[in-house]
Chain A
């Protein structure tokens, strides 16, 4: 059973460009979460999506950032007009059923974005 797959693992962008990060959840998981880890900091929640719906985007910056989880295909975190402060590791996690309160999120290996 494949784990959470994220790509690209490393992405370099110049200021003003767009960054697209992709996440395929574990098989059977319909809940996806994006977290951002700034250098030397903990993970900060960004957005929680269920198939075709954004459930909670309270951690997402209001501008330049968007996320989707279409019916078919991976979840995508999109950052427009990147700035140096967007340089971070972006982790995707998935779960099967939050109502069960297992608390176990399955994390991908992360996508490390560097903005020059």
Chain B
């Protein structure tokens, strides 16, 4: 079956630091990969996605590259802001099925 393993949190960084949140997956076939973000008190929002190997998803300064050889989809940002404080979820889905399998989430706190 499908599974997603995410970097354990919480993660605390200073403003303008470089961010990496690791994500690896196990899946049949060729899944699509996603990062969702959950701000305090809100539902999840799609941050970025990649649908095939070597694709790079990007949004709001965040990037992640679909690496089939390492079954990874690590999230990166060059310079984080306080407003990036949230919980980040890595997820995957198989073609034709919007049912998502989520990782456990990584809580990120950015301090000024």
Contacts and interface: CB of A to CB of B under 8 A. Distances in A.
Interface of A: 4, 31, 33, 35, 41-45, 48, 56, 91, 93, 95, 98-99, 101-105, 107-110
A84 to B, nearest CB: 22
5 contacts: A42-B89, A42-B105, A43-B100, A43-B102, A48-B98
A110 B43 contact: yes
Question: 6 closest Cβ contacts across the A-B interface?
Answer: A107-B43, A98-B98, A42-B104, A107-B44, A42-B102, A43-B102
Contact of A101 (B42, B45, B98, B102): B98
Contact of A109 (B42, B96, B99): B42
B81 interface: no
A44 B105 CA distance: 11
Nearest to A42: B104
B99 A33 contact: yes
Interface in B78-97: 89, 93, 95-97
Contacts of B46: 103-105
Main secondary structure of the interface of B (DSSP, over half): loop
B43 A91 contact: yes
B32 A103 contact: yes
A67 to B, nearest CB: 14
Contact of A103 (B6, B49, B104): B49
Given A101-B51, A103-B51, A103-B93, A45 B99 contact: yes
Contacts of B98: 31, 33, 48, 95, 98, 101-103, 105
B104 A41 contact: yes
B72 interface: no
Interface in B1-44: 6, 32, 34, 41-44
A48 B49 contact: no
Contacts of A93: 43-44
Contacts of A104: 34, 46, 49
B101 interface: yes
